[in-house]
Amino acid sequence: MYCPKCGAMNDENAWKCVECGDELPHAGEAPPPGGPVGGPMGEPMGSPMGVPMGEPPPKINNYLVPSILATIFCCWPMGIAAIVFAAQANSKMGQGDYEGAVQSAEKAKTWTWITVGAGALIGVIYIALMILGAAAGN
């Protein structure tokens, strides 16, 4: 489609103009008159790569809240690692470093699960010791 603001040619699925960065009206609901869908300009739906150009990056889960909860309720030494990575994902996202943010969020997720897992394990051992202690006391 053509940008209504600057007239630049954009991908059919683009949400943003490649030239001026202005938001493009959504095609599909109302095809432009005279513009044949899937005409000589190429593909009717989607780009050859399957990923529409200029698509906004999806909002990532930086695991900040679960990492904090895991730290409070499980074991804090490991939870702090999760929080550090979650905060890193947050700041990288703020700097526009999407790849780095995703990587940090992945680490935050891993450490959150390690923290939860360790907390659960400690809880199970604690309960087992309580049961053993109670059994020994009888």
DSSP string covering 93-137: HHTT-HHHHHHHHHHHHHHHHHHHHHHHHHHHHHHHHHHHHHHHH
* Total site size for Zn ion, rule CB under 5 A: 8
Whole-number Cα distances in Å, 59 to 52, 62, 98: 17, 9, 10
CB of 9 to Zn ion, least distance (A): 10
Nearer to Zn ion, 17 or 83 (CB): 17
DSSP string covering 59-71: PP---HHHHHHHH
CB 17 within 8 A of CB 8: yes
Nearer to Zn ion, 41 or 127 (CB): 41
CB of 69 to Zn ion, least distance (A): 44
Tell me: does residue 43 bind Zn ion (CB under 5 A): no
* Phi-psi category of residue 112: left, alpha or beta, with phi > 0 → left and psi -120 to 50 → alpha: alpha
Map the footprint of Zn ion across residues 3-32, applying CB under 5 A.
3, 5-6, 8, 17, 19-20, 22
Nearer to Zn ion, 20 or 122 (CB): 20
Nearer to Zn ion, 20 or 124 (CB): 20
Residues of this chain that interact with Zn ion (CB under 5 A) are 3, 5-6, 8, 17, 19-20, 22
